[in-house]
């Protein structure tokens, strides 16, 4: 199964959306997580490539078969007063892959220490569980992550739990 994580940086650079579309077209992905993307750009990408999708707070998840989705939980990370209008989301999708339960998630944790701790606690509390999971996350290098919850980093920004080593082909990109 092919999975990818993309840091879109708001797609403000000339040709960035075209570059992202070329990436998606060339990779034939089953699941993709994108951070720093606007809702309209996420909708455009999903429409153009006939992908299922979910969005919250500049985070987007896209998927297609073999995933079937049962519920989407879109939450905002805890707010910090100095950054009231910079709201990032925690997006969790309850799905199954060929009848087996699976969780897909995307988030972007603050690089500032005062925001990092409450955001990480919030995200970790929602990522607990024994089921298979894919997490697409932009994390600063503070040492604590999701390894103790059973996640292994398989590429930059991509963490997996419950998948065999040869089952996923992961790739990361920045546009």
Give pLDDT, residue 105.
Answer: 97
Structure tokens at 155: 């590429």
Give pLDDT, residue 98.
Answer: 87
Q: Which residues share a beta bridge with 91?
A: 74, 106
**Mean pLDDT, rounded, for 5-26:** 94
| HSE-up of residue 55 (Cα within 13 Å, Cβ side) | 15
Whole-number average pLDDT of the chain: 92
* Residue 80, pLDDT above cutoff 80: no
CA 154 to chain centre: 14
Domains of the chain in sequence order: 2-174 (3.60.10.10)
Dihedral over Cα of 35, 36, 40, 41: its sign: negative
Q: What is the dihedral of CA 87, 154, 132, 140, to 10 degrees?
A: -30
């Amino acid at each position: 199964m092919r999975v990818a994580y993309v840091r879109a940086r708001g797609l403000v650079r000339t040709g960035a959306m075209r570059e992202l579309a070329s990436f998606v077209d060339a990779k034939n992905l089953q699941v993709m997580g994108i951070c720093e993307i606007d809702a309209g750009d996420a909708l455009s990408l999903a429409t153009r490539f006939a992908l299922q999708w979910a969005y919250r707070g500049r985070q987007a998840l896209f998927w297609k078969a073999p995933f079937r989705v049962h519920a989407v939980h879109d939450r905002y990370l805890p707010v910090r007063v100095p950054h009231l209008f910079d709201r990032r989301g925690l997006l969790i999708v309850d799905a199954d892959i060929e009848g087996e339960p699976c969780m897909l998630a995307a988030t972007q944790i603050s690089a500032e220490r005062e925001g990092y701790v409450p955001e990480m606690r919030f995200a970790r509390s929602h990522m607990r569980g024994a089921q298979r999971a894919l997490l697409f996350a932009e994390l600063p290098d503070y040492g604590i992550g999701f390894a103790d919850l059973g996640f292994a980093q398989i590429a930059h920004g991509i963490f997996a739990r419950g998948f065999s080593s040869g089952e996923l082909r992961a790739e990361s990109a920045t546009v």
